[in-house]
Structure 1
Amino acid sequence: MTLTFSRFDGLVYRAHHPAWAYDPESGEGAKLHGGRFNRIGTACFYAALSLETAWLEAQQGFAFKAQPLTICTYRAELADILDLTDPAVCERAGVSLPELGCAWERLAGDRKAVPTWELADRLIGGGCSGIIVPSFASRATSDDRNLVLWSWSREAPHRLAVIDDERRLPRDQSSWQDGPKSA
Protein backbone atom coordinates (compact mmCIF):
# COMPACT_ATOMS: atom_id res chain seq x y z
CA MET A 1 0.00 0.00 0.00
CA THR A 2 1.63 3.22 -1.18
CA LEU A 3 -0.25 6.19 0.18
CA THR A 4 0.42 9.88 -0.16
CA PHE A 5 -0.26 11.77 3.01
CA SER A 6 -1.27 15.42 3.07
CA ARG A 7 -1.37 18.30 5.53
CA PHE A 8 -4.37 19.55 7.42
CA ASP A 9 -4.22 23.12 8.70
CA GLY A 10 -7.37 24.56 10.20
CA LEU A 11 -9.83 24.55 13.04
CA VAL A 12 -11.50 21.44 14.43
CA TYR A 13 -14.17 21.03 17.10
CA ARG A 14 -14.82 18.61 19.90
CA ALA A 15 -17.83 18.24 22.18
CA HIS A 16 -17.05 16.08 25.18
CA HIS A 17 -18.12 15.21 28.70
CA PRO A 18 -17.53 18.26 30.91
CA ALA A 19 -15.53 16.19 33.39
CA TRP A 20 -12.72 16.04 30.79
CA ALA A 21 -12.61 19.86 30.44
CA TYR A 22 -9.37 19.97 32.45
CA ASP A 23 -7.62 17.84 29.79
CA PRO A 24 -9.24 18.80 26.45
CA GLU A 25 -6.37 17.53 24.28
CA SER A 26 -6.47 14.07 25.81
CA GLY A 27 -7.19 10.84 24.00
CA GLU A 28 -7.48 8.90 27.25
CA GLY A 29 -11.24 8.35 27.07
CA ALA A 30 -10.86 6.67 23.70
CA LYS A 31 -7.88 4.71 25.02
CA LEU A 32 -9.94 3.43 27.96
CA HIS A 33 -13.08 2.56 26.00
CA GLY A 34 -11.97 2.08 22.40
CA GLY A 35 -13.63 3.74 19.44
CA ARG A 36 -14.43 3.29 15.78
CA PHE A 37 -10.78 3.86 14.81
CA ASN A 38 -8.91 2.68 17.90
CA ARG A 39 -8.74 -0.47 19.98
CA ILE A 40 -8.86 -0.29 23.76
CA GLY A 41 -5.34 0.68 24.81
CA THR A 42 -4.66 2.98 21.85
CA ALA A 43 -5.00 6.70 22.53
CA CYS A 44 -7.00 8.52 19.89
CA PHE A 45 -8.26 12.08 19.46
CA TYR A 46 -11.64 12.41 17.73
CA ALA A 47 -12.75 15.83 16.46
CA ALA A 48 -15.09 17.23 13.82
CA LEU A 49 -14.44 19.63 10.99
CA SER A 50 -17.53 21.67 11.91
CA LEU A 51 -19.24 22.66 15.13
CA GLU A 52 -22.49 21.10 13.92
CA THR A 53 -20.79 17.75 13.31
CA ALA A 54 -19.22 17.85 16.78
CA TRP A 55 -22.73 18.24 18.21
CA LEU A 56 -24.07 15.32 16.13
CA GLU A 57 -21.18 13.10 17.18
CA ALA A 58 -21.53 13.91 20.87
CA GLN A 59 -25.29 13.38 20.95
CA GLN A 60 -25.18 10.11 18.95
CA GLY A 61 -28.72 10.53 17.68
CA PHE A 62 -30.30 11.79 20.90
CA ALA A 63 -30.75 15.43 19.89
CA PHE A 64 -33.76 15.95 22.13
CA LYS A 65 -32.13 14.54 25.28
CA ALA A 66 -28.98 16.61 25.11
CA GLN A 67 -26.65 16.13 28.05
CA PRO A 68 -24.20 18.84 29.19
CA LEU A 69 -21.14 19.12 26.96
CA THR A 70 -17.92 21.07 26.86
CA ILE A 71 -17.36 22.30 23.31
CA CYS A 72 -13.82 23.27 22.37
CA THR A 73 -12.16 24.60 19.24
CA TYR A 74 -8.63 23.51 18.34
CA ARG A 75 -5.96 24.85 16.00
CA ALA A 76 -4.58 21.96 13.99
CA GLU A 77 -1.36 22.04 11.96
CA LEU A 78 -0.91 18.42 11.02
CA ALA A 79 1.28 16.41 8.68
CA ASP A 80 0.77 12.79 7.61
CA ILE A 81 -3.02 12.96 7.24
CA LEU A 82 -5.01 10.69 4.92
CA ASP A 83 -8.34 11.96 3.58
CA LEU A 84 -10.65 8.95 3.46
CA THR A 85 -13.55 11.08 2.25
CA ASP A 86 -11.88 10.86 -1.19
CA PRO A 87 -12.97 7.64 -2.96
CA ALA A 88 -9.63 7.37 -4.81
CA VAL A 89 -7.73 7.53 -1.51
CA CYS A 90 -10.04 4.88 -0.02
CA GLU A 91 -9.34 2.63 -2.99
CA ARG A 92 -5.56 3.05 -2.59
CA ALA A 93 -5.90 2.38 1.16
CA GLY A 94 -7.90 -0.77 0.46
CA VAL A 95 -11.00 0.31 2.39
CA SER A 96 -14.59 0.94 1.41
CA LEU A 97 -17.21 3.30 2.80
CA PRO A 98 -19.25 0.37 4.25
CA GLU A 99 -16.12 -0.85 6.07
CA LEU A 100 -15.54 2.65 7.52
CA GLY A 101 -19.16 2.68 8.72
CA CYS A 102 -19.07 -0.84 10.18
CA ALA A 103 -20.95 -1.70 13.37
CA TRP A 104 -17.66 -1.71 15.25
CA GLU A 105 -19.15 -1.94 18.75
CA ARG A 106 -21.22 -5.01 17.87
CA LEU A 107 -18.29 -6.65 16.09
CA ALA A 108 -15.97 -6.01 19.04
CA GLY A 109 -18.62 -7.26 21.48
CA ASP A 110 -18.95 -10.45 19.43
CA ARG A 111 -15.14 -10.77 19.39
CA LYS A 112 -15.07 -10.49 15.60
CA ALA A 113 -12.60 -8.61 13.44
CA VAL A 114 -13.25 -4.86 13.35
CA PRO A 115 -12.26 -3.55 9.89
CA THR A 116 -11.64 0.00 11.12
CA TRP A 117 -9.28 -1.24 13.84
CA GLU A 118 -7.36 -3.28 11.28
CA LEU A 119 -7.21 -0.23 9.00
CA ALA A 120 -5.95 1.94 11.88
CA ASP A 121 -3.24 -0.62 12.69
CA ARG A 122 -2.08 -0.62 9.04
CA LEU A 123 -2.11 3.17 8.74
CA ILE A 124 -0.33 3.78 12.05
CA GLY A 125 2.29 1.22 11.02
CA GLY A 126 2.70 3.11 7.73
CA GLY A 127 3.41 6.45 9.43
CA CYS A 128 -0.06 7.98 9.20
CA SER A 129 -0.82 10.37 12.07
CA GLY A 130 -4.54 10.70 11.34
CA ILE A 131 -7.45 10.48 8.95
CA ILE A 132 -10.35 12.55 7.75
CA VAL A 133 -13.48 10.41 7.55
CA PRO A 134 -17.20 10.84 6.99
CA SER A 135 -19.36 11.14 10.09
CA PHE A 136 -21.50 8.09 10.73
CA ALA A 137 -23.59 9.81 13.41
CA SER A 138 -27.35 9.69 13.10
CA ARG A 139 -28.60 12.41 10.70
CA ALA A 140 -25.10 13.15 9.38
CA THR A 141 -24.89 14.34 5.79
CA SER A 142 -22.06 14.02 3.27
CA ASP A 143 -20.81 17.42 4.50
CA ASP A 144 -20.22 16.09 8.02
CA ARG A 145 -16.60 14.98 8.42
CA ASN A 146 -14.35 14.06 11.30
CA LEU A 147 -10.65 14.17 12.04
CA VAL A 148 -9.20 11.16 13.87
CA LEU A 149 -5.66 11.43 15.24
CA TRP A 150 -3.31 8.74 16.52
CA SER A 151 -0.34 11.09 16.80
CA TRP A 152 -0.67 14.64 18.08
CA SER A 153 1.13 17.02 20.40
CA ARG A 154 1.70 20.72 20.94
CA GLU A 155 4.70 20.57 18.61
CA ALA A 156 5.15 20.32 14.83
CA PRO A 157 4.63 18.32 12.70
CA HIS A 158 1.47 17.09 14.47
CA ARG A 159 0.48 20.25 16.33
CA LEU A 160 -2.91 20.39 18.00
CA ALA A 161 -3.83 23.01 20.61
CA VAL A 162 -7.11 23.89 22.28
CA ILE A 163 -8.10 27.54 21.93
CA ASP A 164 -8.55 28.86 25.46
CA ASP A 165 -7.17 32.40 25.27
CA GLU A 166 -9.32 33.53 28.20
CA ARG A 167 -8.32 30.52 30.34
CA ARG A 168 -11.90 29.38 30.94
CA LEU A 169 -11.09 25.67 31.12
CA PRO A 170 -10.22 24.20 34.52
CA ARG A 171 -6.53 23.39 35.03
CA ASP A 172 -6.96 20.15 36.94
CA GLN A 173 -9.49 17.52 37.94
CA SER A 174 -10.29 19.14 41.30
CA SER A 175 -13.28 20.89 39.68
CA TRP A 176 -15.07 17.55 39.70
CA GLN A 177 -16.15 15.84 42.84
CA ASP A 178 -16.04 12.32 41.38
CA GLY A 179 -13.72 12.82 38.39
CA PRO A 180 -14.49 11.88 34.81
CA LYS A 181 -16.94 9.03 34.21
CA SER A 182 -16.40 8.69 30.46
CA ALA A 183 -15.02 10.63 27.54
Structure 2
Amino acid sequence: MKTPRRGFAGIVYRAHHPMWAYDALSGNGAKKYGGRFNRPGCAALYTAIDPTTAWMEAQQGFSFKPQPMTLVAYEAICKDIVDLNDGDVLKSLGCSALDLGCPWEYMATQNQEPSTWLLVDRLLHLGIAGILVRSFAPGCTANNQNLVLWKWTEAESNTVRIIDDFGRLPKTRGSWLGE
Protein backbone atom coordinates (compact mmCIF):
# COMPACT_ATOMS: atom_id res chain seq x y z
CA MET A 1 0.00 0.00 0.00
CA LYS A 2 1.25 3.46 -0.90
CA THR A 3 1.64 5.75 2.12
CA PRO A 4 -1.17 8.33 1.97
CA ARG A 5 0.23 11.86 1.82
CA ARG A 6 -1.63 15.05 2.46
CA GLY A 7 -0.91 18.71 2.50
CA PHE A 8 -0.96 21.10 5.40
CA ALA A 9 -1.57 24.83 5.23
CA GLY A 10 -2.00 26.95 8.32
CA ILE A 11 -0.47 28.74 11.24
CA VAL A 12 1.69 26.70 13.62
CA TYR A 13 3.53 27.69 16.80
CA ARG A 14 6.68 27.02 18.81
CA ALA A 15 7.60 28.21 22.26
CA HIS A 16 11.34 28.85 22.47
CA HIS A 17 13.80 29.59 25.20
CA PRO A 18 14.12 33.35 24.56
CA MET A 19 17.86 33.06 23.88
CA TRP A 20 17.22 30.85 20.83
CA ALA A 21 14.46 32.96 19.28
CA TYR A 22 16.95 34.36 16.73
CA ASP A 23 17.35 30.83 15.30
CA ALA A 24 13.66 29.96 15.18
CA LEU A 25 13.77 28.12 11.84
CA SER A 26 16.92 26.03 12.20
CA GLY A 27 15.93 22.76 13.90
CA ASN A 28 19.50 22.66 15.24
CA GLY A 29 18.52 21.83 18.82
CA ALA A 30 16.60 18.78 17.65
CA LYS A 31 19.48 17.85 15.35
CA LYS A 32 21.98 18.04 18.20
CA TYR A 33 19.99 16.20 20.86
CA GLY A 34 17.37 14.21 18.97
CA GLY A 35 13.70 14.05 19.83
CA ARG A 36 10.74 11.72 19.79
CA PHE A 37 10.54 11.96 15.99
CA ASN A 38 14.17 12.49 15.02
CA ARG A 39 17.42 10.85 15.94
CA PRO A 40 20.49 12.97 16.76
CA GLY A 41 21.99 14.23 13.50
CA CYS A 42 18.59 14.68 11.84
CA ALA A 43 17.25 18.23 11.94
CA ALA A 44 13.58 18.60 12.82
CA LEU A 45 11.23 21.51 13.27
CA TYR A 46 8.72 20.67 15.99
CA THR A 47 5.65 22.89 15.82
CA ALA A 48 2.20 22.78 17.39
CA ILE A 49 -1.15 23.47 15.80
CA ASP A 50 -2.17 25.78 18.66
CA PRO A 51 -0.33 28.04 21.15
CA THR A 52 -1.40 26.00 24.20
CA THR A 53 0.18 22.83 22.81
CA ALA A 54 3.37 24.77 21.95
CA TRP A 55 3.54 25.97 25.55
CA MET A 56 2.99 22.48 26.97
CA GLU A 57 5.60 21.01 24.63
CA ALA A 58 8.16 23.60 25.74
CA GLN A 59 7.44 23.12 29.44
CA GLN A 60 7.65 19.30 29.19
CA GLY A 61 5.89 18.53 32.43
CA PHE A 62 7.01 21.57 34.38
CA SER A 63 3.78 23.51 33.93
CA PHE A 64 3.59 23.94 37.72
CA LYS A 65 6.61 26.24 37.48
CA PRO A 66 6.44 27.93 34.06
CA GLN A 67 9.67 29.27 32.64
CA PRO A 68 10.00 32.27 30.28
CA MET A 69 9.33 31.41 26.65
CA THR A 70 9.12 33.28 23.37
CA LEU A 71 6.08 32.17 21.38
CA VAL A 72 6.71 32.27 17.64
CA ALA A 73 4.05 31.77 14.96
CA TYR A 74 4.83 30.37 11.52
CA GLU A 75 2.93 30.17 8.28
CA ALA A 76 3.30 26.61 6.99
CA ILE A 77 2.35 25.39 3.53
CA CYS A 78 3.62 21.85 3.18
CA LYS A 79 3.18 18.87 0.89
CA ASP A 80 4.15 15.30 1.59
CA ILE A 81 2.78 15.16 5.13
CA VAL A 82 1.63 11.90 6.71
CA ASP A 83 -1.17 11.99 9.28
CA LEU A 84 -0.16 9.64 12.09
CA ASN A 85 -3.50 10.26 13.80
CA ASP A 86 -5.08 7.97 11.21
CA GLY A 87 -5.12 4.38 12.48
CA ASP A 88 -5.18 2.96 8.94
CA VAL A 89 -2.08 4.96 8.01
CA LEU A 90 -0.29 3.74 11.15
CA LYS A 91 -1.26 0.16 10.36
CA SER A 92 0.02 0.51 6.77
CA LEU A 93 3.35 1.65 8.23
CA GLY A 94 3.51 -1.32 10.60
CA CYS A 95 3.16 0.99 13.57
CA SER A 96 0.70 1.57 16.41
CA ALA A 97 -0.31 4.43 18.66
CA LEU A 98 1.64 2.69 21.44
CA ASP A 99 4.77 2.82 19.28
CA LEU A 100 4.34 6.58 18.89
CA GLY A 101 4.17 7.03 22.66
CA CYS A 102 7.25 4.89 23.37
CA PRO A 103 9.66 6.06 26.10
CA TRP A 104 12.09 7.28 23.46
CA GLU A 105 14.46 9.14 25.79
CA TYR A 106 14.89 6.14 28.08
CA MET A 107 15.37 3.81 25.12
CA ALA A 108 18.03 6.09 23.64
CA THR A 109 19.96 6.17 26.92
CA GLN A 110 19.86 2.35 26.91
CA ASN A 111 21.35 2.24 23.40
CA GLN A 112 18.04 1.04 21.95
CA GLU A 113 16.53 2.56 18.84
CA PRO A 114 13.11 3.99 19.65
CA SER A 115 10.35 2.76 17.36
CA THR A 116 9.64 6.37 16.41
CA TRP A 117 13.16 6.81 15.04
CA LEU A 118 12.78 3.69 12.91
CA LEU A 119 9.43 4.98 11.65
CA VAL A 120 10.98 8.33 10.71
CA ASP A 121 13.80 6.53 8.87
CA ARG A 122 11.15 4.78 6.74
CA LEU A 123 9.21 8.00 6.14
CA LEU A 124 12.32 9.92 5.11
CA HIS A 125 13.20 7.10 2.70
CA LEU A 126 9.73 7.54 1.15
CA GLY A 127 10.35 11.28 0.66
CA ILE A 128 7.96 12.38 3.40
CA ALA A 129 8.60 15.93 4.65
CA GLY A 130 6.80 15.67 7.99
CA ILE A 131 3.97 14.33 10.10
CA LEU A 132 0.83 15.42 11.85
CA VAL A 133 0.79 13.67 15.20
CA ARG A 134 -0.64 14.11 18.66
CA SER A 135 1.51 15.65 21.36
CA PHE A 136 2.92 13.33 23.98
CA ALA A 137 3.91 16.16 26.34
CA PRO A 138 2.61 15.66 29.88
CA GLY A 139 -0.96 16.92 30.23
CA CYS A 140 -1.68 16.73 26.50
CA THR A 141 -4.46 14.67 24.93
CA ALA A 142 -5.18 13.48 21.40
CA ASN A 143 -6.65 16.95 20.78
CA ASN A 144 -3.19 18.53 21.17
CA GLN A 145 -1.60 18.22 17.73
CA ASN A 146 1.89 18.79 16.35
CA LEU A 147 3.31 19.26 12.88
CA VAL A 148 6.84 17.86 12.86
CA LEU A 149 8.97 18.58 9.78
CA TRP A 150 12.26 17.12 8.57
CA LYS A 151 12.29 18.96 5.25
CA TRP A 152 11.35 22.62 5.17
CA THR A 153 12.48 25.85 3.59
CA GLU A 154 11.36 29.43 3.30
CA ALA A 155 10.60 28.90 -0.41
CA GLU A 156 9.58 25.72 -2.26
CA SER A 157 7.09 22.93 -1.67
CA ASN A 158 7.47 22.73 2.11
CA THR A 159 7.43 26.37 3.07
CA VAL A 160 7.67 27.55 6.66
CA ARG A 161 7.91 31.28 7.24
CA ILE A 162 8.22 33.03 10.58
CA ILE A 163 5.50 35.59 11.18
CA ASP A 164 7.38 38.64 12.44
CA ASP A 165 5.85 41.56 10.58
CA PHE A 166 7.33 44.12 12.97
CA GLY A 167 10.85 42.63 13.22
CA ARG A 168 10.61 41.90 16.93
CA LEU A 169 12.64 38.68 16.95
CA PRO A 170 16.39 39.07 17.46
CA LYS A 171 18.52 38.51 14.36
CA THR A 172 21.65 37.11 16.04
CA ARG A 173 22.67 35.47 19.28
CA GLY A 174 24.66 38.59 20.00
CA SER A 175 21.48 40.65 20.12
CA TRP A 176 20.33 38.45 23.01
CA LEU A 177 23.62 39.02 24.78
CA GLY A 178 23.45 42.79 24.28
CA GLU A 179 26.21 42.93 21.65
TM-score by length of structure 1 reads 0.94
Aligned 8 A contact 1:82 1:130 in 2: yes
* 4+ aligned runs moved over 6 Å, structure 1: none
* Distance (whole Å) between structure 2 residues aligned to residue 51 and residue 22 of structure 1: 19
Contact 2:72 2:162 in 1 (8 A): yes
Secondary structure class of the residue paired with 1:64? coil
Q: Which residue of 2 aligns with 1:106?
A: 106
Q: Which one-letter code corresponds to 1:120 in the other structure?
A: V
Asked whether the 8 Å contact 1:135–1:144 carries over to 2, the reply is yes
User: Which ranges in structure 2 are unaligned for 5 or more consecutive residues?
Assistant: none
Higher relative contact order (CA 8 A, sep 6+): 1
User: What corresponds to 1:165 in structure 2?
Assistant: 165
Work out the CA distance in 2 between the residues paired with 1:16 and 1:176.
13
- Cα distance in structure 2, aligned partners of 1:9 and 1:27: 20
Give the match for residue 139 of structure 2: 139
Is the 1:47–1:146 Cα contact (8 Å) retained in structure 2?
yes
Q: In 2, are the aligned partners of 1:77 and 1:156 still within 8 Å (CA)?
A: no
> Over the residues paired in the alignment, what is the CA RMSD in angstroms?
1.2
Shift of 1:118: 0.5
Name whichever of 102-111 and 137-146 sits farther off. 137-146
- Where 1:63 maps in the other structure, the secondary structure is coil
The answer to whether the 8 Å contact 1:85/1:132 transfers is: yes
Hey, what does 1:93 align to over in structure 2? Answer: 93
Gap regions ≥5 residues in structure 1: 179-183
Question: What fraction of aligned residue pairs are identical, expressed as a percent?
Answer: 49
Using the size of structure 2 for normalisation, the TM-score is 0.96
* Aligned partners of 1:80 and 1:128 also within 8 Å: yes
